[in-house]
Structure 1
Amino acid sequence: MLWIAIRMLTGDAQKFYGLLFGIAFSTLLITQQLTIFVNLIERGASGVYNAPEAEIWVMDPVSRTTDVNYAMPSTALDEVRSVPGVEWAVPHLRASASVRTASGDLEGVAIIGVDDSTLIGLPERLAQGNKSILSQPDTVLIDDVGVGNLFDDGEDPIGQRLELNDQRAVIRGVADAIPSFTSQVTLYTKYSQALNYVPGTRNRLTFVLAGTGEGDSPADIASRIEAQTGLKAETREDFARAGVDFIIQNTGIPTNFGITVVLGFVVGVAIVGLTFSLFIRDNIKQFGALKAIGVTNGKIVRMVAAQAALVGFVGYALGVMGTVAFIYGFSGNPFFKGFYIPWQIPLISLAAVIVILAITGFIALRSVLSTEPAAVFR
């Protein structure tokens, strides 16, 4: 009987492909939008991910994220180093500035100052150059996404001179960094050099990055730092989550993407429901004839379920493959750098497809189950 159900479905090519399109389109829209949403809000934690050595971030109590912060006095570094269990602690500066290129263009940039001796705070990898070049005078590293924002296509940034708050800066390397939420140009330099680039204020230490000894829990040490210094200390995971939560709470991104996902679901129900109902209506005589020869309603339900399962499986696969092709095709675009599909998202899309098919199948089945076999022969 299941084979007959499949033949009935594929025999009407127009409606069969219409059902596949509806499921594939809904899956593509839901999976793609959720993928972009997750990767976009994770950019709020890019500052944490770009400093992989830091196990604990120490900051002023009012600071919220790597970009929303309040500077501390320089004495905070010694206070953190004095806390039992802290193996090392280094200064970290994050500030905004304006840079003028050789062509006269003005661009807002983020200045990140890393520890002079250990260079903790730099991204793990460099696309061009090596970390030792920061020992040269006036040296800065630019992030690879910032290269496209600051220079024309094909222009080599290495050796380019910038005017940074009336100070000279020379680009001698390109960092392979995770872009920030705003894709702002980011310049990395030593902490001592960064102090010359940003306007002078009384307090200029933005964060203290700390590490723990072997066997010590970062969460326990963070609590100890807070109790002893009065500063705010968060583990790497907690501070990354704070950056993501800040984007969710203070932007309309979740609402906008949520509306798109809901529209994808509604469109799927509308297209699949209408097409499936038309398919059942056109084949009502065949179903009635099957009931006339003794096929029970239970078997009819299993037949329709098999038809829905075939359409769902093929359409879902096409939608997921379309999302993979989309992410791969745009992987060269700086906006999509590092984008990936979390394993939870295909499962959410699969659940949405099952719900769509359950709703539409239930609506379509009502007319079949209520059909009297005798009506076929009148």
Structure 2
Amino acid sequence: MNWIAIRMLTGDRQKFFGLVFGIAFSTLLITQQLTIFVNLLERGASGVYNVGAADVWVMDPVSRTTDVNFPMPATALDRVRGVPGVEWAVPHLRAGASVRTKDGDLEGVSVIGVDDTTLIGLPKGMVEGSRAVLEQPDTVIIDDVGATRMFAEGDDPIGERLELNDQRAVVRGIADSIPSFTSQVTLYTTYSRALTYVPGTRNRLSFVLAKSAAGVTPEQLVTRIEGQTGLRARTREDFAQDGINFIIENTGIPLNFGITVVLGFVVGVAIVGLTFSLFIRDNIKQFGALKAIGVHNGKLRRMVAVQAGMVGLIGYGLGVLGTVGFIQAFSSNPTFKGFYIPWQVPLLSLMAVTLIIALTGWLALRNVLKTEPAAVFR
């Protein structure tokens, strides 16, 4: 009987391809939008992910993320270093600035000052150059995505001179880093040099990066730092989550992507439901003939379930493959650097497709069960 159901389904090619297209389009829309949504949210934690050595981030109590921070006095560094359980603590500066290129263009950048001695705060990977170039005077390292935004294709950023707040800065390296949520150009330099590049208020220290000593967990160190210094301390994982939560709470991204996902579901139900209903209506005589020869409703339910399941699997597979192809096609685009498909996203798409198939299959099955055997003779 299952083979008969499949032959009935594939015999009407127009409706069969219409059903497959409806499921594939719905799966593609849901999977692709959820993938972009998740990756954009993770960009909110890029500033934390780019610093892998620190277990704990210490900041002013009003600071919320790496980009939304309030400077602290320089004495905060010594206070953190005096907390028992701190193996090391280094300063970290993050501030905005304006850069003028040799062509006279003005570009807003994010300047990050890393520890002068250990260079903690600088991304581990380098696309071009080495971390040691920061020992040279007036040196900055640009992130790889920012290099494509600031310089034309084919131009080598190495050796380019920039005017950074009326001071000379020379690009001598390209860092392999995770782009920020806004994909803003990021310049890395030493902490002492960043203080001169980005003049500001009396308090300049954005964060203190700390490492917990052996036998002390990051959570224990957070409690000690907050209790002894009065500053806000967060573990690396918690602070990364703070950046994600900030985007969720303060932007319209979740609502916009949520609407798109719902529309994908509704479109899938509409296309598949209408096409499946037309398919059942056109084959109502065949189902009536099956009833006339003694096929009971249980087997008819299985036949419709096989038809719906076949359409769902083929359409779902094509939709997921389309999403993979989209990510691969745009992987060379700096905007989509590091984008990947979390395993939860195809699972959520599968649940959505299953719900679409179950709903449309149930609506179509009602007509089959109501069919009288005499319908075949009318």
Alignment correspondent of 2:250: 250
SS in 2 for 1:79: helix
CA distance in 1, matches of 2:157, 2:99: 14
SS in 1 for 2:87: strand
Alignment correspondent of 2:2: 2
Alignment correspondent of 1:285: 285
| CA positional deviation for 1:147 | 0.8
CA distance in 2, matches of 1:252, 1:150: 28
Alignment correspondent of 1:330: 330
- Residue 240 of structure 1 pairs with residue 240 of structure 2: yes
Q: Deviations over 1:84-134 (max 9, x none)?
A: 111110000000011111111111100000000100000110100000110
SS in 1 for 2:173: strand
Alignment correspondent of 2:39: 39
Alignment correspondent of 1:231: 231
Q: Deviations over 1:29-63 (max 9, x none)?
A: 00000000000111111100111111100000000
| CA positional deviation for 1:166 | 1.1
SS in 1 for 2:275: helix
**Letter of the 1:325 counterpart:** G
Note the residue ranges of structure 2 that are not aligned, 5 or more in a row: none
| CA positional deviation for 1:68 | 0.2
Alignment correspondent of 1:54: 54
Q: Deviations over 1:246-280 (max 9, x none)?
A: 00100000000000000000000000000000000
CA distance in 2, matches of 1:200, 1:281: 74
CA distance in 1, matches of 2:215, 2:299: 62
SS in 2 for 1:158: coil
Stretches of 4+ moved more than 6 A in 1? none
| CA positional deviation for 1:347 | 0.3
**Letter of the 2:347 counterpart:** L
SS in 2 for 1:94: strand
**Letter of the 2:360 counterpart:** T
| CA positional deviation for 1:215 | 2.8
| CA positional deviation for 1:23 | 0.3
| CA positional deviation for 1:223 | 1.1
- Residue 303 of structure 1 pairs with residue 303 of structure 2: yes
- Residue 222 of structure 1 pairs with residue 217 of structure 2: no
| CA positional deviation for 1:309 | 0.7
CA distance in 1, matches of 2:9, 2:250: 48
**Letter of the 1:271 counterpart:** I
CA distance in 1, matches of 2:2, 2:172: 67
SS in 1 for 2:92: strand
Alignment correspondent of 1:194: 194
Alignment correspondent of 2:79: 79
SS in 2 for 1:345: helix
Alignment correspondent of 1:210: 210
**Letter of the 1:299 counterpart:** K
CA distance in 2, matches of 1:267, 1:356: 10
Alignment correspondent of 1:116: 116
Task: Name the TM-score, length of structure 2 as normaliser.
Answer: 0.99
CA distance in 2, matches of 1:3, 1:103: 70
| CA positional deviation for 1:374 | 1.6
Task: Please give the residue correspondences for 1:268-283 in structure 2 after superposition, counting only pairs within 5 Å.
Answer: 268-283=268-283
CA distance in 1, matches of 2:200, 2:238: 31
Q: Deviations over 1:307-340 (max 9, x none)?
A: 1111111100000000000000000111100000
Alignment correspondent of 2:349: 349
- Residue 377 of structure 1 pairs with residue 356 of structure 2: no
- Residue 164 of structure 1 pairs with residue 164 of structure 2: yes
CA distance in 1, matches of 2:331, 2:25: 21
**Letter of the 1:266 counterpart:** V
Report the count of equivalent residues.
Answer: 378
Alignment correspondent of 1:19: 19
SS in 2 for 1:42: helix
CA distance in 2, matches of 1:324, 1:215: 44
- Residue 368 of structure 1 pairs with residue 363 of structure 2: no
SS in 2 for 1:203: coil
Shifted more, 192-201 versus 268-277: the winner is 192-201
CA distance in 2, matches of 1:199, 1:114: 16
| CA positional deviation for 1:214 | 2.3
Task: Name the TM-score, length of structure 1 as normaliser.
Answer: 0.99
Shifted more, 192-201 versus 310-319: the winner is 192-201
CA distance in 2, matches of 1:296, 1:159: 80
SS in 1 for 2:44: helix
Alignment correspondent of 1:103: 103
| CA positional deviation for 1:152 | 1.0
Shifted more, 148-157 versus 15-24: the winner is 148-157
| CA positional deviation for 1:199 | 1.2
Note the residue ranges of structure 1 that are not aligned, 5 or more in a row: none
SS in 2 for 1:117: coil
